[in-house]
Structure 1
Amino acid sequence: MDYISDLQAFLPGIITAVAGLVVITIEALKSGSKSVFGITAVALVAALFFAILDLGNPVTEAFSGMLVHGGAVAFGSIIILVGTLFCVFLSNDYLEDIGHNYSEVYALVLFATSGMLCLAGANDLVSLFLGLETMSICLYVLAGLMKNEKEGAEGALKYFLLGAFSTGFLLYGSALLYGATGTTSLTGIGAAASGDLLFVAGAALLLIGFLFKVSAVPFHMWTPDVYQATPTTLTAYFATSSKAATFIAMILVLSRALPAVEGLDWQAVLSVVAIITMIFGNIIALVQDNIKRMLAYSSIAHAGYALVGLASGSIEGYSAVSFYLFAYTLMNVGAFGVIAYYERNKGLDFSDVNNLAGLGFKKPLMGVLLSLFLFSLAGIPPFVGFVGKYYVFAAAINAGMIPLAIIGVLASAASVYYYLRVMVYLYFREAHQEVELFDPSMLTKGALVILAILTVYYGIEPVLPTGGLMDMLTSF
């Protein structure tokens, strides 16, 4: 029956949503239950398993065309779930240490993930808005988790106000597109696309809403404050899974609803935004002493690299962006995870790069892992970050956008400075004072080591077991 196949199509999202309800119920019956973490992890592993099973299927519609699943869309779901799973693994000990290991956090993460999965498979403006808002509302609450601290309250309020404002743009753009085409289906909008002012205005407002969610300049204002104020492991979740969901949704919108129309050049618009975003993000990151703010501006720059692939307007470019999101998730969650470990050691503010001086030899494994993730973020071979950037810039070159690719390469080269700066403090600066670092738990250590192995493996052999990754991502 159709409804059974529909449920199977969105099974990962259903699993995470039901798990969120179970977590809330358990918390209501027995506050502070230790089983909440296990339920969350098992639910995410199960959702990931079904998403992997769906990877080999062609992209097909479900729920009367409201959602799509399979193929490249399933790969987007895998990215979201991988990022979420490792963030949850790293969060358990970290949130316990800072006194914020509430069951509600895991429920919000599960509900947000369900929204992300809906957003990444949205084939209609209604389902797109539903997924976006489910994700966003949960993230607003998570951003304010440390509400008793000034930075936490300020970051959450800024995120909420600007997020609500950007959602208004997206919703108003959707209304204009519906008025111009008479449908909310992405494929229907693409079939009725025109150069009319109503259609152009609607598409522009829709893209503005997306650009805010991915922290593209000039819609990035919330990013550094929110990243700094949010617990570090949850910051990794904001920076990876939510961004991956939004980019996959952008790919679906651009490929299905906004085809090339006479008088409209979305590629040129995205190219300009990509250039501004790459340059601004890297320049501001160069002068940051706070590592979380540095990674926040770095994430803005990485959004610019992904926009380069979108600007190519080709299947190759969209495939490259998908792989880049996968690469970015592995190395960014890893980097934030190591920083979270350092922050758990009391006595100094380890989010300040100056206080990392001399710590590289204190716990050699953690120092090596952080260096590996930073090398990958900088795009240095043989790590996965290099392969991701290669695919994105190659897609731009093949689309005839050679100047855009050159600017991207130069911006990426500039980023090497602030990534290597962290390693200089770790290994080549004297410690300000004697600091004793505790041994990380097996869960934290294991999660980080697995992320490091994946970062190296997919840098050397960028394929999945079932075949070439770039061959699999052939249709949106």
Structure 2
Amino acid sequence: MILAQLSNFEGPSIDWLPLTPQIILVVAALVILLVTSLSPAKVSDSFSTAVTVGSGVAAGVVAWFVWNDIRDEGPSSTVAGAVGVDGFSIFFTILTLSALVATSLVGHSYIKREQMAAPEFSALLLLTAVGAIVMASANDLIVLFIGLEALSIGLYVMAAMQFRRREAQEAAMKYFVLGAFSSAFFLYGIALVYGATGSTNLVNIAAYFNTIGSRINNLELFYVGMALMLVGLAFKVAAAPFHFWAPDVYQGSPSPVSGYMASAAKAAGFAAMLRIFFVAFSRTSADWTPIVAVLSAITLIVGAVMAITQNDVKRMLAFSSVGHAGYVLVAVQAATSDGTSAALFYLFTYTFMVIGSFAVVSLLGWNDGHDVSRYEGLARRRPLIAVAFTVFLLGQAGVPFTSGFVGKFLVIRSAVDDEIYWLAVLAMVVSVITAFMYLRIISNMWDREVDVADAPRLSVPLTTGFVVVVCAMITVVYGVIPQSLIEFARDAVPVLVAGG
């Protein structure tokens, strides 16, 4: 009887092309672990980086072909509607792959210097990228949770890869414990939303509200579930007051990993938030947008106030990352297509600014020290690195002719269009306050009176220098001619398509 039933079982129809980027990354991770287990250490390091970068580029090419199909044929879904195939998923796939390639190149020299395990680092990096892409593509809350855990578990291990350092051990333990709590909140929220709506599929949840409206019998149950999911995602994006893990974890983790956490991992959290709240919960936006607005205000203030009091550059960038999450939340609370496209533009450009910043930090953080005094006279020792870091800091400050200025302008305009004027004013005031922090580092770098004769020699590996220069160029290019990225972000506003 059972065998007869199994023989008649038909699985869901699967379009494999949209899943090819994830498959490439998984296969690359397995190849790295298999080949390097049989190879000498010197060969393993270079091989791991080459495979990681090559697979990231190959997956990006496939993603671009999928994007062309979407523009011609429109968005769709696969795996019985559990995975979305739209501009939104492709946008975050390209963002994640960019962060993957950049982090791998920066990590190549960092791993050698710090005597870390290169194959394990590369394999975990690839698998966390798969988790981030799954989160952005998920049309089902269970699939999204699987992607979230794939991303989180890999990052827990990567944070502790400098296991000889006590700070790394503490960072990993804190990240793991608090991350497990946030995942539990999110999973419990999924259970309550399922209990209220009868489905975990985002298409079905949206259709349920379109049919029932506010007459849902278990409305209170749904609101509690929605609140728990928001708390879980707020932790992942380091939004205040759920940010307490970020400074210690960013400071204790390897610098390339910190940059990856602040870029790809944060972007994945916001991708999940936008797909759930902007699309599936759009009919209840009047209930959750005020909460997100308050959350963004708290995040902006906490990030700015704490950042300007730091003397450790890595900790400073960690609190700065908290503040940037506040700007993205300003766009999220607008709950409009323009607000969503502003959030996408901000996340994309911020990714390159923060990865470039942590790449510079990895160069200057010898002996695990990151005090701001170490940046004194950098312009005289390594002028090109100083120029690039200045570009990153000015971009994060929102200075004109950088992509950061365009991103903040779009985000603040979304709040103005939504008539949330107090939040728009707060965002502008915070931008002025945080500029002091960035200018403080810049003034140290360009101080001509500092004696650099006794400063340690600063060597710049080719791979790290390449990433720094490319990230700086992207920051300037999208600050001067941002239209192509703005249009891409507008085309990438998420939609839900039911599956067969």
Pick the TM interval, shorter chain.
over 0.9
Per the TM alignment, residue 474 of structure 1 is displaced from its structure 2 partner at its CA by 4.1
Q: Give the structure 2 partner of residue 342 of structure 1.
A: 364
| Matching residue of 2:55 | 43
Q: For the Cα contact (< 8 Å) 1:59–1:73, is it kept in 2?
A: no
Post-superposition CA distance 1:426-457 (Å, at most 9, x none): 12252487114244122222221111111111
1:34-73 mapped onto 2 (5 Å cutoff): 34-56=46-68, 57=70, 58-73=74-89
Summarize the alignment of residues 107-118 of structure 1 with structure 2, pairs less than 5 Å apart: 107-118=123-134
In 1, Cα distance between equivalents of 2:489 and 2:176: 37
What SS does the aligned partner of 2:400 have? coil
Helix, strand or coil at the partner of 1:464: helix
Within the candidate set 8, 14, 19, 1:10 is matched to 19
What residue identity is the alignment partner of 1:231? Answer: P
Q: Distance between the aligned counterparts of 2:347 and 2:63, measured in 1?
A: 16
**1:356 and 1:431 in contact (8 A); partners too:** no
Which runs of no fewer than 5 residues in structure 1 stay unpaired? none
Render the CA deviation track for 1:362-415: whole Å, top value 9, x for unaligned. 111111111111000101010011111111111111111121111111111111
Tell me how far apart the structure 2 counterparts of residues 89 and 337 of structure 1 sit (CA, whole Å): 10
The residue aligned with 2:225 is 202
Secondary structure in 1 matching 2:333: helix
Letter paired with 1:23: I
| Residue equivalent to 1:312 | 334
Cα pair distance change 1:432/1:456, threshold 3 Å: closer
Secondary structure (helix, strand or coil) at the match of 2:399 reads coil
TM-score normalised per structure 2: 0.91
Counterpart code for 1:258: F
Aligned pair partner of 2:206 in 184, 190, 206: 190
Q: What amino acid is aligned across from residue 430 of structure 2 in structure 1?
A: A
The answer to whether the 8 Å contact 2:88/2:136 transfers is: no
Summarize the Cα distance change of 1:166–1:456 in structure 2 as closer, same or farther, 3 Å threshold.
same
Partner of 1:174 in structure 2? 190
SS in 2 for 1:68: strand
CA contact (8 A) 1:156 1:226 kept: yes
Q: What is the distance in 1 between the residues matched to 2:40 and 2:157?
A: 19
Residue of structure 2 in register with 1:302 after alignment: 324
Secondary structure, counterpart of 2:284 in structure 1 = coil
Superposed CA deviations along residues 333-359 of structure 1, whole A, max 9, x for unmatched, are 111111111225x6xx65100122222
Counterpart pick for 1:127 among 139, 143, 158: 143
**2:345 corresponds to which residue?**
323
Question: Match for 2:444: what amino acid?
Answer: Y
Cα distance in structure 1, aligned partners of 2:14 and 2:468:
37
Partner of 2:7: none
The separation in 1 between residues aligned to 2:196 and 2:459, in whole angstroms, is 60
Q: Secondary structure at the match of 2:440?
A: helix
Give me the identity figure in percent: 36
Aligned to 1:423: 442
Output one character per residue of 1:138-189: Cα deviation in whole Å (capped at 9) or x when no partner. Answer: 0000011122211111111000000000000000000001111111101211
1:272 to 277, 286, 294: 294
The answer for the alignment partner of 2:235 in structure 1 is 212
Q: Is the Cα contact below 8 Å between 1:71 and 1:472 reproduced in 2? A: yes
Aligned partner of 1:283 in structure 2 is 305
Q: Structure 2 CA distance, aligned partners of 1:211 and 1:26? A: 39
Q: Deviation of residue 52 (structure 1)?
A: 2.2
What letter is aligned with 1:311? Q
The separation in 2 between residues aligned to 1:41 and 1:310, in whole angstroms, is 32
Contact 1:291–1:353 under 8 Å retained in 2: yes
Cα pair distance change 1:324/1:151, threshold 3 Å: same
Written as runs of structure 1 = structure 2, the 5 A alignment for 1:73-472 is 73-193=89-209, 194=214, 196-261=219-284, 265-344=287-366, 350-428=369-447, 430-431=450-451, 434-464=454-484, 468-472=487-491
Contact 1:289 1:352 in 2 (8 A): yes
Larger radius of gyration: 2
2:403–2:478: 8 Å Cα contact kept in structure 1? yes
Given the two structures, how large is their TM-score scaled by the length of structure 1? 0.95
Alignment partners' CA distance in 2, 1:261 and 1:92: 46
Q: Distance in 2 between matches of 1:383 and 1:271?
A: 26
Instruction: Tell whether 2:37 aligns with 1:21.
Output: no
CA contact (8 A) 2:331 2:412 kept: yes
Q: For the aligned residues, what is the CA RMSD?
A: 1.9
* Superposition deviation, residue 464 in structure 1: 3.2
